[in-house]
Amino acid sequence: MKVTAADPEPAMLEAAAAAAQAAGVEVTFWQGGSYELTPDMGPFRLVTIGRAFHWMDRAETLNVLDRVVTEDGGVAFFHDAHPDVTENRWFRVLRETADRYTQDAVHTGERRTGAHRRYEPYLFASAFSQLDGLSVTCRSAITMDDLVGRAYSMSSCAPEKLGERRSEFEADLRATLAPFATDGTFVEVAEMVALLARRPERRT
């Protein structure tokens, strides 16, 4: 099995390459994003997309993947959701704090409505309209540093985008999250979701 990993950010590819080497896994790395995809890439049997589909031209990306993915292949999407339970009160605060520091109004609005998580309208209009989903809900303890790191992993709050406001953002985030911790620890209830999209089976 051959694996190709793609990302537009060189630093992400460097980190992935180091992890692959440490794990003894052979991976080919390609610098680029959805807008650099071409029909002559691949072919690939499975394309996986993490929490990034909402940043893409979703219809066009699926159109290109239709010419990249083999007939018996598919596209797998992965994301997480946080149920509206008491333990997750910190999640809303984290999002609200992040929104105050981001200037990406379009995607901020999508997050508020949950529109960025709805893949179905694009998939039903694409070649990959047969959908199968799986989700697992888990409850675990996380630290303040975990949440700060997660905030920085969000594209809207990446350190390079925050620039000189990074220290202000982190101090604000830690202060607003602190009341929801017990002995410095938060409880997270998260639903891990996987969605596999394939071409419908042809009837004979």
- What's the mean pLDDT in 164-192? 95
Q: Residue 89 domain-assigned?
A: yes
| pLDDT attached to residue 131 | 96
| pLDDT attached to residue 203 | 64
Distance of CA 51 to the CA centre of its chain: 1
Q: Residue 88 domain-assigned?
A: yes
Question: What total of structural domains would you count in the chain?
Answer: 1
| pLDDT attached to residue 97 | 92
Segments forming the whole domain that contains residue 158: 33-198
CA–CA dist 158, 153 (Å, integer): 6
Q: Residue 60 domain-assigned?
A: yes
At 160, the pLDDT band (50, 70, 90 cuts) reads confident
Q: Residue 115 domain-assigned?
A: yes
Query: Percentage of the chain surpassing pLDDT 90?
Result: 69
Q: Residue 10 domain-assigned?
A: no
| pLDDT attached to residue 117 | 58
| pLDDT attached to residue 26 | 94
Given a cut of 70, whether residue 112 has pLDDT beyond it is: no
At 130, the pLDDT band (50, 70, 90 cuts) reads very high
Pairing state between β 185-198 and 130-143? antiparallel
Q: Residue 3 domain-assigned?
A: no
- What's the mean pLDDT in 67-83? 94
| CATH code for the domain in which residue 56 is found | 3.40.50
Given a cut of 70, whether residue 18 has pLDDT beyond it is: yes
| pLDDT attached to residue 105 | 44
Amino acid code (one letter) for 142: I
Among 78-82, 95-99, 128-132, name the most confident range: 128-132
CA–CA dist 25, 159 (Å, integer): 29
| pLDDT attached to residue 192 | 94
CA–CA dist 113, 29 (Å, integer): 34
Q: Residue 63 domain-assigned?
A: yes
Radius of gyration of the chain (CA): 19
- What's the mean pLDDT in 9-38? 92
Q: Residue 41 domain-assigned?
A: yes
